[in-house]
Amino acid sequence: MAKLSIAPQALAKRRFLRRAVGGGGALLLGGCDRLGQNAAFKDMLSTGESLSRGVRDLVGASPLSMAQEFTSADLSPTFRGNGNTDPDSDAYKALAANAFADWRLAVDG
């Protein structure tokens, strides 16, 4: 079976194109903050959301089928950690007092 070989110039062009596309993407992402502050861009996004809702209503889908949205009033002023951030047990307090130097993970089966 014949082996397919690629000329070094073609590899250099591909490398250049990969880097150019990656650099261009990074530049576009760097401008996202400015786009988010642009009123015309916000209007364009709102139009897209309105179109999505219109299609949802046209096909008769439930409003619950879309991603749930929250208002600022729905957000909690304090963030509750997932689980306990400071367990109230004597074993935990003893480990914390020693900066967890004595803590060991038991791996058994």
The pLDDT confidence band at residue 1, using thresholds 50, 70 and 90, is: low
pLDDT higher than 60, residue 109: yes
User: Is residue 101 predicted with pLDDT exceeding 90?
Assistant: yes
Place of tokens 């110039």: 9
19/11 Cα distance (integer angstroms): 12
Neighbouring CB atoms inside 10 A of 29's CB total: 9
| 55-95 confidence digits (pLDDT tens) | 888 898 887 777 888 888 888 887 777 777 778 889 889 99
The answer to whether residue 107 scores a pLDDT higher than 80 is yes
Between CA 93 and CA 38 the distance in angstroms is 51
Phi, psi for 47 (deg, rounded to 5) = -65, -45
H or E stretch at 96: helix 90-97
Q: pTM here?
A: 0.36
